[in-house]
Every structure is written in structure tokens, then in C-alpha cells.
Structure 1
Amino acid sequence: MVNTRGKIKKTKNTFKTCFLQGLEKDFDQQSSQSGALIGSNDDLLTKILLLLPVTSILRFKSVSKHWLWLLSHRSFTLRYDSLAKSPGLFVRENYIPFDVENRSTPPFRTLDFYFDPCGIRILQSCNGLLLCCSDRGNERARKYYIFNPTTKQHAIIPSVPGGQNVRRNIRFMGLAFHQTECVHYKVVCIHSVEPGGELFKIQIYSSDTRKWKNTGESFIAESYSHFRYGVYWNGAIYWTPSCRDPLFFRIEDERLQNLPLPMEVASSGGYYDGLVPKYFGESRGHLHLVETAHLENRLHLNVYEMLSDHSGWFVKYQVELDELPGAFPEMINSYQRDPTSPFYYEFDVFDVVRGEKEEDTFIVVRLPGMIIRYNVDDKSFMQIFNLTSYFREPYANVHRYTETLTSF
């Protein structure tokens, strides 16, 4: 007797296999055609690539020469950088992501991009680039670097001309860079003419010419003036107000101008003897200054924003941190009994981070043993970092990380 059932079953399986193979072949062919269509359409490909994280963009540069050209083209990098995020900041050697639920990978573990026997530390963050310098040693032998933590590219800044007499009297080195308004980064150096003197001069290094230029600009400032913290905004370098008549330096015309202070700060005498505001910095194209709103309540802060013409300030946000002592009683100084004392509450403002939407704006605050983010709109807060060791760190030593594809 012939077993026809086995033949029928075998025939069905063969037909099923051929059918599935045919479907897979059609699917692969359609996928290949779709991939070829996307790959040959730069506009469509760009729209897709703009949605990807920066790590994927850097990896996809090795796909082909065409992708390398496309992803390295200035038009793409400008569009990508306009959408770039600031996922966190650096406090000393610690990288602190803003989003504790979706922690981003640290852009680097240590600043070992170049061997410096004195170590390397960050001086300033400016639109994705970091200005770094030797961590130890005297000013005469100190080296300065520009570092892009996203692409891992770095450059060494030549020594400031003028010999050791100039280099040992450097009081400020600041970085000016913006993807559209200051494409070729510049480094601004302020140095005193004599050790401990009050007469200062300015020199500028440009990545375009790769040379230093003596601006011929000189000015007099109190010897205790703080120049160590620089902020680039709207075509000018600002340093933290620390005297009664603070200045800022316009890059294009190489001119110093008086920096106005908020009316409430100016009426109380301004800053003197090295005093500085609670916070001074830039975010999403806005320059901010944070100061106590009322002397009787140190937890009420005004976040000022400077007008685009540099003429003055207005109160952008009023932040009331009244709920924090209840949630974090360790911020109350047990040695102080007067709540109006500037030392009654212990906290520092590390950063003001403007959101893509107003309701996403938050400030980063250091409390004893921790760092928190405080939402300005709904007054919610959360701990984002646990400090294993006690320290008080001024905002001048806190640097925001911003992703950028910029090359130099």
C-alpha cells in the first residue's frame, strides 16, 4: 500500500517553505528598494538622522564616504546643533546628568585627551566647547586647551606673547564661540601690566588666524576684581560682576563697555570687595543673574535676564524655595538663629537651565550632601546627585555639557 498521506504532507511543507521564501525575498527586495530610496534622498535621510542621538551620528560617519560628507557638512551640523541638548554638567571630576530616570553616558571619564604632567581642569564651557588648562603649576608654564567632549577633538592654544612677565600676570582666559555668530572660536586674555597692579591689557587668539592679537585696549580695575569666570553671550565676553563698575568686552569691535546691574542690586551698592552674585551665566541664548529677592527671606530669589541690547535687566522668574527646608532640614545652619542671615540657609545655585518650553525651565541647586533640580514653573524638585563628600563649590567651577558636532 502506497503511503499517500506522507507525500501530501511533504508536498504541503515544500509549498509552505517556497511560499515563505518568496515572501522573504519580496520583503528583502522591498526593504532594499526602500533603503536605496532613503539613501539616495539626502533631504529625507537628513530628517531621519536629525532625530538620532549624537553617539549614533558619530558612528554613522563610518557608513560610507557619502554619509561622512553629509554628516560633516556645515548645514547638517548647524541644524543638528540647533536641536542639541544639554544633558548634564560637570562639578569637579563628577558628571551629573539632569535626568535621573534616563541617565546619559558621561562624555568622558577623565580629562586625559592630552598628557599634561600637571593634570587638566575645565575653566569654561561655551556652546559645546570647553576651555581647559593645566590644573597645577605656576601661570608661566600653564597650558591652555580647547576640547570638544562630544567629538573628542582638541587643540592647544599657543602661549600668550610677551614673555614670562605677561604670562605670570594673566588674570583671565575666556572662550568665545557660537555656531553662527562666532564660528571661529576666540580666546580672550586679560593680564595686568605689573604684578598686583590695577592696569590691565587685553589680547585675543583666533582659531581662524591661529595667532594672538594685541587689541591695544587697556583699562583700570580694582586689584581684587574677579576675572576668572567668563560667560560668552550675544557677541561679548562677560566676567562675573565683582566691583562697583563692572565691564564687558565686545568681541567684534574689541571694545570694553560698562555692564549695567539690576536696579535692585545697583541701589544696594552693587558688588564690591570681591562679592559676586548667587549665579551668573547663559542658557539657550539668554544671560541670567540670580540674586536674593528680599533680605528678610533668603529663600526668595529673582532670576534676572539681560535685554538683548545690553542696556539692562528684567525679572524673568521669581523663585521661592520655601518648601526645601522642610524636605531637606540639613540645609538649615544649626549655628545660626536669624533666618534673615545670609548664612542661615546653606545652598548654592549651580545653574539656570532654560527649557525648550517655559514650563521645562529649572535651576540646579546644591544642598549639603546632594544636588537637586528645581522646576521653576510647578515648583517640583528632585535629587539628581548624592555628594559622597562635603564641599562648597561656587558656580564658577560648575560647567554645563552641551552636545555639538562642531569641528575646528
Structure 2
Amino acid sequence: MVNTRSKIKKTQNTLKTCFSQTPTPDSDHQSTHSGALIGSNDDLLTQILLRLPVTSILRFKSVSKHWRWLLSHECFTLAYDSLSISPGLFVRNVYIPFDVQNQSTHPFRTLDFYPDINGIRIIQSCNGLLLCCSDEGYERSRKYYIFNPTTKQFAVIPSVPGGQNVRKTIGFMGLAFHQTDCPHYKIVCIHGPNTSSIDSLFRIQIYSSITGKWKISNNHIYAPSHAVFRNAVYWNGAIHWAPSCLNPSYFILEDDELQNLPLPPRAAYPGVYSHGNLPIYFGESRGHLHLVEFNYHEKHLQLYVYEMLKDHSGWFVKFKVEVDDFLPAVPELIQRYQHPSIPHYSDYEIFDVVRGEEDEDTFIVLKIWWKIIRYNVVDKSLMQLLDLNGIYHGRIAYSTVHRYIQSLTIF
């Protein structure tokens, strides 16, 4: 279990500046006196409430007006969200907990928070909020939503200005949100081109939840008309696109600036980044940006988990994982590995890299054939999370997998 004691201590000084302490009246009964002491001391009460599960926090908002104010206060929500962990992920809208022995409450059964006749699907998860859209239908009539699965709050995003000629060419919609560096969420839209020329112009528009309006960015992107902008990750104040040979880049929101995204050293296995291929995983966890590649080394298949430097100057290898370590989870694969010269990389899909407060708490969620496995990168322990046999067939792709993070954020 991750130790959160140090994080709780860090929040105490901040909370003391937010909530005042009220004197407690005398009482003949010690229990009544203790209850009054806690109930009238916002700082003490907050320290207790920070240790409760999110379901209790939401329920306790109905205790009184004062408790609702306290639990909705920005200082409390920031402190609670900073301590919050990720209990699971969504695979094509199906929720899978990370701990099958201590399962958390299912955040939702279906994405039915808004009556969309085309249904709703998840596009992106970002620090507790989900960017969703209509599941079917033409792009020009598709609706977009922000949804907090913890609080069940949602908002409908206004249509991108420019009429149908713009909306039918939307190639990307991405969410930027973080409780401290981007507390008011933003949406980044890339649309175009209207022609099929080799080098085409893609426009960028940005929606701000503060103004409720879209604005056109001063930047634009020249790229091949078939360029792919997908698998977006918000990290360190910028939207990053999963790097490929076509458009490795990131967009700094505050500066309205587009920058080139450096690539890690090419893996030894041939085919990486060729013909526009994407890495097998690209995502963020606990303030770290990760990229995962296969590496075929001396007839052994490995996973390289890269981490980006904070200044965007380059990548370094954070973890190396031997694919052979996964075989005990799926004994049927051992037979396939009787010929080690053949790398069966197609048997694996990386769904998530989840960092802990310490490296020994870090784990990878991956799909091996039809099983979803949790693998600890330090002690190499394995835990089966779900058997997909009879549920899904074929590849799922991490672009349809979205982490769930509990958040009390109100927008």
C-alpha cells in the first residue's frame, strides 16, 4: 500500500491558512465535548475527512451547510485530490479495478449522463475528468462533453466556430486539466485541411471553461494531409501527441506555442516509428511522462519504459522489463516461446503505466492474449485483473483505455 503520511503532512500548513478555528464551549459530557471540539475546528475536521473514501465525502456534503462549504472549498478539494489514487481504468467504457481483492465502488455503469441519441464514448482521461463525445454519427454533428465520473457533474462543450466546413474536418479534440497548473479546463481542437495537397494547413482552436468561448490560436501546423493527431496527453502545461515519424510535437497552452517533441533512441527492434507507427504506450502518471517501446535484444523481447525530462530536452530509460517475466500469467504462451528467435510482440498490449510514490509501488497494466494483468516493475509480481475470453476478441489498443482518477473538482 502506498504511504500517504508524508503527503498529508504537506497539506496541513496550507489547510491551516484556509480554515479558521472556533473556540469550543464547555460540556459536562466528554463525548459531547470531543464531538463539539472536532465539529467546530475546521482544521482538525479536515484532517479527519482527508482520510475518508470519496464516497463518504460526497455523502457528508449533506450533513450541514457548513460541511458542504468545507468539503467544496478549493483548499479541501486540492488537498484531497493530491492524496487521491487511481483505483482502476476504463477499457472501452468497461471499468476494471487495479486491486481485485479490494475493489472500489464502480464509478458508473454506463455513460448515460446526457441523452445523446448516438451514445457516448470516452476520448481522453485527464487528472480526474473525462473528455467524451458522441459515439456515432458525422463529425459535423458530433457533441463533446466534459464529465467527472466521481461527482457525476458534466458540461456540454459548445460547437467549434466556423460552421460545418470546419466541424467536418476536426481531426483532434484534447483535454487539458490539472488541479494546480490548469484548474480551469481547456479543450484543444485541430481541424483541417480542406484539400488533399501533400503539405496542408491545420488550424488550432482553444476552448476555455473560464470564458466559455473558443479562440483561434496564433499557431498552425503544416503537415501531410493524412497526418495523425491522437493519443493526447496533458503534462507539464502542454498537450503532447504520441510521437510518430510524421508529427512529433507538443503545444504549450499558456504561451500558445508549438514545439517539436524529441524522440527517444530507436529501439533495436526494426519497425519502430516506421510508416507512422506509434509507440506501444504513451501516457502520464504522478507528474511523469512515459513512452514504452519493445526492444529485441539477444533473442529476448524487452519493454523499455522511457521517462521525459521536465524541460522536454530528452528521454531516459526508467525501467527495463523482460517480457519472459509475464509468461507465468499465461502458461499457454510458453509453448509459443519454444522458438525464441521469433519475437511474439503482437501478443502484448500495454494499457497503463501507474507510478507509485516509490518505485517499488509502480506497476504496468497489460493485456496478454485475452487476460489483463497487473505487473509490478520492481518485485515482478503478477496479478490477473480480468479474463477477456468471451468478452473481447482481437486487439483493444491503449487509445481506448482511460485511467480513472478520483477527483472532487467542480467546474
Q: Structure 1 length as normaliser, TM-score?
A: 0.89
Any conservation in 2 of the 1:85–1:402 contact (CA below 8 Å)? yes
Any conservation in 2 of the 1:225–1:243 contact (CA below 8 Å)? no
> Structure 2: 5+ residue runs without aligned partners?
1-26
Partner residue in 2 for 1:407: 410
Cα displacement (A) at 1:85: 1.0
Shift of the 68–159 alpha-carbon distance from structure 1 to 2, 3 Å rule, reads: same
Q: How far apart, in 2, do the equivalents of 1:385 and 1:118 lie?
A: 28
Partner residue in 1 for 2:210: 208
How many percent identity over aligned positions? 65
Q: How far apart, in 2, do the equivalents of 1:340 and 1:278 lie?
A: 21
The residue identity in structure 1 corresponding to 2:172 is: F
- Alignment deviations for residues 302-360 of structure 1 (CA, whole Å, 9 cap, x no partner): 100000001100011111121323541444796x9864545455010110000122101
Pairing of 1:150-165 with structure 2 (within 5 A)? 150-165=150-165
Cα displacement (A) at 1:222: 2.7
Q: How far apart, in 2, do the equivalents of 1:214 and 1:346 lie?
A: 43
The residue identity in structure 1 corresponding to 2:54 is: V
Partner residue in 2 for 1:309: 311
Cα displacement (A) at 1:81: 0.5
Q: How far apart, in 1, do the equivalents of 2:192 and 2:284 lie?
A: 27
Shift of the 35–183 alpha-carbon distance from structure 1 to 2, 3 Å rule, reads: same
Shift of the 144–327 alpha-carbon distance from structure 1 to 2, 3 Å rule, reads: closer
Q: Is the partner of 1:277 in helix, strand or coil?
A: coil
Q: How far apart, in 2, do the equivalents of 1:261 and 1:116 lie?
A: 39
The residue identity in structure 1 corresponding to 2:294 is: T
Choose from 216, 226, 242 the match for 1:240.
242
The residue identity in structure 1 corresponding to 2:245 is: C
Larger radius of gyration: 1
Cα displacement (A) at 1:370: 1.1
Find out whether 1:287 has 2:289 as its counterpart.
yes
Q: How far apart, in 2, do the equivalents of 1:142 and 1:86 lie?
A: 30
Choose from 242, 249, 252 the match for 2:254.
252
Q: How far apart, in 1, do the equivalents of 2:268 and 2:242 lie?
A: 15
Q: How far apart, in 1, do the equivalents of 2:157 and 2:268 lie?
A: 37
Q: How far apart, in 2, do the equivalents of 1:56 and 1:256 lie?
A: 43
Over the aligned positions, Cα root-mean-square deviation in angstroms equals 2.1
Pairing of 1:181-192 with structure 2 (within 5 A)? 181-192=181-192
Pairing of 1:6-405 with structure 2 (within 5 A)? 29-196=29-196, 198-265=200-267, 271-297=273-299, 299-331=301-333, 339-341=340-342, 343=344, 346-387=347-388, 388-389=390-391, 390-405=393-408
How many residue pairs get aligned? The number is 381
Q: Is the partner of 1:221 in helix, strand or coil?
A: strand
Partner residue in 2 for 1:9: none
Using the TM superposition, name which of 224-233 and 160-169 deviates more: 224-233
The residue identity in structure 2 corresponding to 1:75 is: C
Q: How far apart, in 2, do the equivalents of 1:337 and 1:190 lie?
A: 47
Any conservation in 2 of the 1:176–1:185 contact (CA below 8 Å)? yes
Q: Structure 2 length as normaliser, TM-score?
A: 0.88
Q: Is the partner of 2:266 in helix, strand or coil?
A: helix
Q: How far apart, in 2, do the equivalents of 1:216 and 1:268 lie?
A: 38
Q: How far apart, in 2, do the equivalents of 1:269 and 1:346 lie?
A: 16
- Alignment deviations for residues 139-163 of structure 1 (CA, whole Å, 9 cap, x no partner): 0000000000000000000000011
Cα displacement (A) at 1:271: 2.1
Q: How far apart, in 2, do the equivalents of 1:245 and 1:207 lie?
A: 28
Any conservation in 2 of the 1:339–1:345 contact (CA below 8 Å)? no
Q: How far apart, in 2, do the equivalents of 1:206 and 1:71 lie?
A: 25
Cα displacement (A) at 1:268: 7.2
Any conservation in 1 of the 2:171–2:190 contact (CA below 8 Å)? yes
Q: Is the partner of 1:38 in helix, strand or coil?
A: helix
Any conservation in 1 of the 2:269–2:296 contact (CA below 8 Å)? no
Shift of the 346–219 alpha-carbon distance from structure 1 to 2, 3 Å rule, reads: same
Using the TM superposition, name which of 148-157 and 264-273 deviates more: 264-273
Q: Is the partner of 1:122 in helix, strand or coil?
A: strand
Q: Is the partner of 1:396 in helix, strand or coil?
A: helix
Q: Is the partner of 2:29 in helix, strand or coil?
A: helix
Shift of the 94–39 alpha-carbon distance from structure 1 to 2, 3 Å rule, reads: same
Q: How far apart, in 2, do the equivalents of 1:116 and 1:179 lie?
A: 29
Cα displacement (A) at 1:293: 2.7
Cα displacement (A) at 1:266: 11
Any conservation in 2 of the 1:225–1:242 contact (CA below 8 Å)? no
Q: How far apart, in 2, do the equivalents of 1:353 and 1:125 lie?
A: 14
Using the TM superposition, name which of 356-365 and 187-196 deviates more: 187-196
Any conservation in 1 of the 2:126–2:176 contact (CA below 8 Å)? yes
Q: How far apart, in 1, do the equivalents of 2:216 and 2:300 lie?
A: 44
Q: How far apart, in 2, do the equivalents of 1:309 and 1:341 lie?
A: 38
